[in-house]
């Protein structure tokens, strides 16, 4: 008996879906996925995984269960699989496949996420169970993390995010303690911050012989100079990221999916523009309403985050005996990474992450093919200043790289939302080529960005960083050969004269006579007088108690660089208190200002007498002389 045509087509459609093995939800995901728990999984079970081998569309690969590692981590078992596949038999475990969904018995089991070792000889991987990832997907965003009163947690579009700050509640600073710099406000140090995070993380990149570790997340870099890349690698490798030159840019792909799909590429854009840095992994599960779970392990382990995301496109899987990895770039910017947890990263397509625009203009380089550069970096407390340094270093390396002496000056402006702009100046001299990468890691502009993002007073947003880098191919420097004291004995209140012997890079010695007043309070004393470069003098600054006070301090971190400073200690003390500094107070004044019923009060410091003398050149070196101040005969 012939079957009705409609029934035949219905049966054929069901057969096609069954053959796809539950891959139909790839379009947007299911709100209630069909999952399988580790207790139902046993050795020898077969299934499949989904990942992108090339382009943006996921492809299937076969999977066979080896077994279950119970209590692999606290509260977390690990499903161990092998992946017999013609390509994976060659490349073994692949960095960038983290998050690839694994299906067993037609149900979602978890995310391909761990590798057994380097120099693998067979394709064996660890799978994070999906129930742990879904738990992270349901975790609420803490109120006040992104303080936008009465609105979504981030500037976004479409549906509002679930968690908002209650009306009238005070905005709170970002409480992601893991990524915060541990140091006094106004003393940010990028390299120290990197060390703190590496110590906290325990260096997950250091693999134990024969042990499972998270498959390192490839960090694709585009437009990053070799020296800047080496500096970035030193900062982020201890955090489990694997920086790789090549890929990482943004190439609009009209054929790319409009939304994330299970098994599709998942990129995290830490920087984009003329300099780009992108972490590449795979989406595991999409809930159909814009939430996405991926990776199966942390990226930075930063907890609540706000990192720009994109749909990833894979160009190739590079086979390596040490560690194979995907090579790719962003095909379509989309959404934000909002949670970075032990078992998953969580994205939300509906919100747009804040970024910091960085614009750099380079002058003084004749014939440079590009002198204006633009990039956007994440405002993460660590990656923000770190990538700002990477952008600066890459731009300068690309534009000024020559084997000639370089004298440079960088004037920059950091604009903070609601607090105006801070104007800064960095200077330096580089012998025989491009300035050293450490110059950017410790530059004032990078320190200011770090100070703002890590300040304990309020949640602050850096609206823009603008820098002008001026280059002169010369060694604009005088070396201080010595200081000659012209007045070895003086009366209190008289001037002392010092002759500086200065040696330029080329030409004869230059002398300069500098003067400074010897205070009456030093009468009868032998005074040690020091001559130092202005850029080496750190002025006394009050400890900031608000973000405005912190920003006011940023532009006063040293004295003008093309100067010499005559300095010596005086018996009195100075105090710093509530945004103000007062020098040379008598001891009884300091005692009178000290509170009797509180543990906070003015900070006392030794007073110095300083005379700043413009030189018109940078001075290198320092020297001391001793002056006798005659006693008064009564």
**Three-state SS for 471?**
strand
- Give tens-digit pLDDT for 349-370: 998 999 999 999 999 998 889 9
Q: How far is CA 600 from the centre of its chain?
A: 33
**pLDDT over threshold 70, residue 145:** no
pTM for this structure? 0.83
Cβ–Cβ under 8 Å, residues 577 and 541: no
**Three-state SS for 227?**
helix
Smallest CA-to-CA distance from 139 within 338, 1, 330 is with: 338
- Give tens-digit pLDDT for 163-194: 333 333 333 334 444 578 999 999 999 999 99
**pLDDT over threshold 80, residue 202:** no
- Give tens-digit pLDDT for 116-133: 766 678 899 999 999 999
**pLDDT over threshold 50, residue 25:** no
- Give tens-digit pLDDT for 485-514: 999 999 999 999 999 999 998 889 999 999
Tell me the sheet residues that pair with 497.
515
User: What separation in angstroms does the CA of 76 have from each of 64, 128, 342, 500?
Assistant: 20, 8, 10, 69
Compare 582 and 310 and report the one with higher pLDDT: 310
Give the list of residues 6+ apart from residue 51 with CB closer than 8 angstroms, or none.
58, 59, 61, 97, 100, 112, 263, 282
Distance CA 522, CA 158 (A): 71
Q: How far is CA 626 from the centre of its chain?
A: 47
Q: What is the mean pLDDT of residues 422-448?
A: 87
Which residue ranges make up each domain of the chain? 21-139+180-353, 356-472, 477-629
Cβ–Cβ under 8 Å, residues 343 and 128: yes
Q: What is the mean pLDDT of residues 222-247?
A: 90
Q: What is the mean pLDDT of residues 160-164?
A: 34
pLDDT cut 70: percent of the chain above it: 83
**Mean pLDDT over all residues of the chain?**
85
Q: How confident is the model at residue 634 (pLDDT cuts 50, 70, 90)?
A: low
Cβ–Cβ under 8 Å, residues 360 and 372: yes
**Three-state SS for 553?**
helix
**pLDDT over threshold 60, residue 218:** yes
Q: Can you tell me which residue has the tokens 């029934």?
A: 7
């Amino acid at each position: 008996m012939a079957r009705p045509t409609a029934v035949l087509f219905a049966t054929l459609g069901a057969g096609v879906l069954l053959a796809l093995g539950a891959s139909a939800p790839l379009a947007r995901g299911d709100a209630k996925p069909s999952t399988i728990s580790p207790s139902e999984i046993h050795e020898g079970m077969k299934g499949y995984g989904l990942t992108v081998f090339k382009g943006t569309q996921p492809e299937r690969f076969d999977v066979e269960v080896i077994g279950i590692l119970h209590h692999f981590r606290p509260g977390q078992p690990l499903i161990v699989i092998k992946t017999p596949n013609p390509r994976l038999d060659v490349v073994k475990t692949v960095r960038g496949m983290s998050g690839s969904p694994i299906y067993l018995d037609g149900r979602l089991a978890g995310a391909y996420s761990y590798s057994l070792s380097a120099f693998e000889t067979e394709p064996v991987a660890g799978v994070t169970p999906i129930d742990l990832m879904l738990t992270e997907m349901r975790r609420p965003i803490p109120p006040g993390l992104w303080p936008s009163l009465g609105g979504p947690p981030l500037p976004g579009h479409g549906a509002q995010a679930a968690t908002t700050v209650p009306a009238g509640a005070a905005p709170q600073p970002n409480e992601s303690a893991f990524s915060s710099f541990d140091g006094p406000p106004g003393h940010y140090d990028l390299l120290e911050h990197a060390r703190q995070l590496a110590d906290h993380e325990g260096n997950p990149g250091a693999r134990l012989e024969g042990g499972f570790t998270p498959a390192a997340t490839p960090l694709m870099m585009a437009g990053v100079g070799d020296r800047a890349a080496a500096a970035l690698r030193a900062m982020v490798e201890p955090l489990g990221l694997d920086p790789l030159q090549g890929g990482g840019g943004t190439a609009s792909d009209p054929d790319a999916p409009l939304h994330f799909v299970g098994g599709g590429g998942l990129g995290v854009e830490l920087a984009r523009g003329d300099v780009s840095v992108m972490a590449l992994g795979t989406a595991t599960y999409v809930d159909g309403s814009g939430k996405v779970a991926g990776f199966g392990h942390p990226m930075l382990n930063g907890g609540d985050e706000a990192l720009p995301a994109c749909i990833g496109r894979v160009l190739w899987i590079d086979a390596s005996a040490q560690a194979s990895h995907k090579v790719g770039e962003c095909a379509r910017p989309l959404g934000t990474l909002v949670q970075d947890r032990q078992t998953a990263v969580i994205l939300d397509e509906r919100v747009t992450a804040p970024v910091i625009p960085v614009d750099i203009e380079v002058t003084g380089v004749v014939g440079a093919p590009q002198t204006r550069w633009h990039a956007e970096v994440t405002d993460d407390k660590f990656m923000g200043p770190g990538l700002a340094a990477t952008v600066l270093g890459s731009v300068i390396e690309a534009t000024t790289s020559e084997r000639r002496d370089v004298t440079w000056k960088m004037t920059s402006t950091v604009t903070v939302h609601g607090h105006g702009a801070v104007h800064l100046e960095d200077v330096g001299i580089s012998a025989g080529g491009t300035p050293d990468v450490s110059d950017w890691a410790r530059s004032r502009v990078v320190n200011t960005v770090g100070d703002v993002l890590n300040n304990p007073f309020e949640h602050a947003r850096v609206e823009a960083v603008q820098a002008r880098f001026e280059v002169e191919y010369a060694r604009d420097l005088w070396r201080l050969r010595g200081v000659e004291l012209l007045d070895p004995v003086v009366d209190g209140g008289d001037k002392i004269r010092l002759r500086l012997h200065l040696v330029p890079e080329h030409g004869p010695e230059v002398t300069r006579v500098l003067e400074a007043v010897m205070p009456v309070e030093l009468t009868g004393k032998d005074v040690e007088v020091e001559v130092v470069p202005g850029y080496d003098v750190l002025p006394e600054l009050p400890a900031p108690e608000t973000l405005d006070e912190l920003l006011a301090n940023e532009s006063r971190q040293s004295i003008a660089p093309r100067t010499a400073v005559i300095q010596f200690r005086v018996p009195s003390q100075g105090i710093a208190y509530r945004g103000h500094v007062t020098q040379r107070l008598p001891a009884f004044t300091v005692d009178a200002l000290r509170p009797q019923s509180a543990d906070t009060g003015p900070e006392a410091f030794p007073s110095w007498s300083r005379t700043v003398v413009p030189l018109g050149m940078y001075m290198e070196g320092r020297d001391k002389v001793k002056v006798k101040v005659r006693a008064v005969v009564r």
